[in-house]
Amino acid sequence: MPKHSPYAIIVTYVEDCQQLMVQAVDPQKLRTVVAGKLEMPIELDAFDLNLDDEFARRLGVAMLNLIALGQPVIEQYMNVTQQPIE
């Protein structure tokens, strides 16, 4: 597998073409852009550092919810369980 330098992930909903756009960006270049913006820290200790299927599902739901705060039109396509699945 090729070695990559560290990068941040940006997920954007593009309403015109109904796509989620995922981009990998140099985190250093984002510092000034994201300074003072909404942050949503996720403490991995709260999940016992276990990044399993349920963690990934909940992270995805959180990202969709966050996108929907700024672009509510995406909610009509969302059919996700908000609570943890046992």
Whether 5 contacts 25, CB under 8 Å? no
pLDDT band of 74, cuts 50, 70, 90? very high
User: Considering only CA atoms, which of 66, 24, 26 is closest in space to residue 42?
Assistant: 66
Helical ranges in 1-86 per DSSP H: 27-34, 53-70
Specify if 1 maps to a domain: no
Q: Which two tokens stand for residue 59?
A: 């992270």
Specify if 84 maps to a domain: no
pLDDT for 86 beyond 90: no
Task: Give the model's pLDDT for residue 84.
Answer: 74
Identity of the amino acid at 25: V
Task: Give the model's pLDDT for residue 2.
Answer: 81
Task: Give the model's pLDDT for residue 20.
Answer: 96
Q: Which two tokens stand for residue 48?
A: 């016992």
Specify if 83 maps to a domain: no
Provide the number of structural domains found in the chain. Answer: 1
Identity of the amino acid at 1: M
Specify if 85 maps to a domain: no
